[in-house]
Structure 1
Amino acid sequence: MIRPLIAATILALPLAACGKPASEGGTASANITVPAGDYAERLRAMTDTERNAVFYRAIHDAGRPCQQVTEATAIPDVNGQPAWAATCEDKSRWVIILGNAGVVQVASAAELEAAGKAR
């Protein structure tokens, strides 16, 4: 059986609005109101420290292991959505895909690479 490659979490910017930790299913959500705006531009305008904190929260809320994001780099869009590669302190790598209305998808970079090789 093929497992879903992407665990989704709803993340509102700024960081102040945080969801609850995810269950085993890897999905978390928060009942929050997200102000209108260009989320990708807001992320790009943040300092590295601010953006790393936002990405940490997304990874954490998706139920994935990460104690701190140490590095995040913009990568080419994924299916037309802005994306970043984030690395945690334990060297685990995550792909953060920013969708409409501030919805963020978090995927393990290793799982995505393995899936790509399986094709």
Structure 2
Amino acid sequence: MNRSTLTALAALALAPLAACGQSDTAADNATPVTNAAETAAAEGIDYGTRIRDLPEGQRRGVLFRAIRDSGQDGASCQAVTSMNEAAPTNGLATWNAVCDNTARWAIVFANDGTATVTGPLAAQPARSS
């Protein structure tokens, strides 16, 4: 099982909000946050919902980056050729993706911007009728 921290996902999701609500003066009680996961937790960002609400092409890109960034096995993925949202895993958003029409992956997104990528998974056995 490979684990990947998706800082690129966090940057992608937070980029449009970077200038919202900012002022020229810092708040007296402002505490610097050092990484995207801490920022997401502090702001209550739900990445599962954010990913679900993305247009299909962007969601495909997020899943592709998660798989590619997960390690050596994922590095061979050239394209996410199919994807679907699966039942939540321990209450966390879960997606299944297929790379290059062959390798199946499961990606579980935590609410703090991290993802757990599992795969490639064994092919599903053929069902007999």
| 1:6-45 mapped onto 2 (5 Å cutoff) | 6-12=1-7, 13-14=9-10, 16=12, 32-34=35-37, 35-36=39-40, 37-45=45-53
Extract structure 1 runs of 4+ deviating beyond 6 A. none
The verdict on how the C-alpha distance between 1:14 and 1:33 changes in structure 2, with shifts beyond 3 A counting, is closer
Please tell me the residue identity of whatever aligns with 2:92: Q
Q: How many pairs were matched up?
A: 96
TM, length-normalised to structure 1: 0.68
Structure 1 or 2, whichever has the larger Rg, is: 2
Return the structure number with greater helix share.
2
TM, length-normalised to structure 2: 0.63
The separation in 1 between residues aligned to 2:49 and 2:3, in whole angstroms, is: 21
The verdict on how the C-alpha distance between 1:68 and 1:15 changes in structure 2, with shifts beyond 3 A counting, is farther
Deviation at residue 70 of structure 1 after TM alignment: 1.6
The verdict on how the C-alpha distance between 1:99 and 1:76 changes in structure 2, with shifts beyond 3 A counting, is same
| Larger RCO, structure (CA 8 Å, separation 6 or more) | 2
The separation in 1 between residues aligned to 2:54 and 2:88, in whole angstroms, is: 19
Q: Percent identity?
A: 32
**Which runs of 5 or more structure 2 residues have no equivalent in the other structure?**
14-33, 125-129
**Which runs of 5 or more structure 1 residues have no equivalent in the other structure?**
1-5, 18-30, 114-119
What are the superposed Cα offsets for residues 63-87 of structure 1, whole Å, 9 maximum, x if unpaired?
2131111221000011222100001
The verdict on how the C-alpha distance between 1:111 and 1:7 changes in structure 2, with shifts beyond 3 A counting, is farther
User: Any idea what SS the aligned residue of 1:101 has?
Assistant: coil
